[in-house]
Amino acid sequence: MITIPLRILLAEDHKTDAELITFHLEQLVETLEIRVVDNLPLFNQELQIFVPDLIISDYNMPTCTGLDVLKATKEFDINLPFIFITGTIEDEEMAANTILAGASGFILKKDMRNLQEKLKPLLKRVVFNISQQQVIRDRVRKNKIAVNQIYQFLDSIKAENEEQRANLKEIKKNIDGIELEKDDK
């Protein structure tokens, strides 16, 4: 069972399929928060306020296609994992096109009995990426602590003359510029 909490946004217009997908996800993920939408405007809204770790989408819905959902996802975050669970993708060319468009994978609805087996490797990749991002977040936090310690040290230095005070201000300004450059990237 996956122990890292996951936030999943599911775009699915059939209530029964949404419930079945949710059931299978609950068997794989210990702490799961899932939101279900059935149209593109609601999807875009949830994408902004829910900020999921993974998107799962049907391919054909009454008001949009899965490719519309994929496009909105990639505009929001190009690295956000995206999986199609669909009954529509039957031919290899269409399946290849979804992967080329940026989907992480797809599962056919005819394989719903084996959904956990099909989802498990895809979810493991998502969890691995989340854990890698956690390492980066920890590094950023440690760097911010170090910068704050430098500020405290600089503040504790008693400048004896105007030139030293000007140099300390310039050092602080340069440190602030470094932080802004990191945030812009």
**In this structure, what CATH number is given to the domain that contains residue 63?**
3.40.50.2300
Establish if 177 belongs to a structural domain.
yes
Q: How far apart are CA 77 and CA 25, in angstroms?
A: 23
Is the pLDDT at 179 greater than 90? The verdict is no
Note whether 57 and 126 are same-domain residues.
Answer: yes
Note whether 73 and 60 are same-domain residues.
Answer: yes
Domain count, the chain: 2
Give the tens place of pLDDT for each residue, 137-167: 567 667 877 877 887 777 777 666 777 778 8
> Exposed e or buried b for every residue in 97-122, given b needs 16+ CB within 10 A?
ebeeebbbbbbbbeebeebeebbeeb
Backbone angles phi, psi at 54, to 5 degrees: -155, 145
Count of beta carbons in the 10 Å neighbourhood of residue 166: 11
Note whether 100 and 113 are same-domain residues.
Answer: yes
Q: Where are the alpha helices (DSSP H) in the chain?
A: 15-28, 40-50, 66-76, 92-100, 115-156, 162-184
Q: How far apart are CA 79 and CA 54, in angstroms?
A: 10
Q: How many CA atoms lie within 13 A of 135 on its CB side?
A: 5
- The SS3 of residue 7 is strand
Whether the predicted model's global pTM rises above the 0.75 cut: no
Q: Identify the weakest region by mean pLDDT among 58-62, 64-68, 105-109, 122-126.
A: 105-109
Q: How far apart are CA 9 and CA 180, in angstroms?
A: 32
Is the pLDDT at 25 greater than 90? The verdict is yes
Q: How far apart are CA 11 and CA 136, in angstroms?
A: 30
Angle at 115 between CA 86 and CA 94, to 5 degrees: 30
Q: Which domain holds residue 172?
A: 135-184
Establish if 97 belongs to a structural domain.
yes
Is the pLDDT at 9 greater than 80? The verdict is yes
Note whether 63 and 27 are same-domain residues.
Answer: yes
Give the confidence band of 18 by pLDDT, cuts at 50, 70, 90.
very high
Note whether 29 and 88 are same-domain residues.
Answer: yes
Establish if 67 belongs to a structural domain.
yes
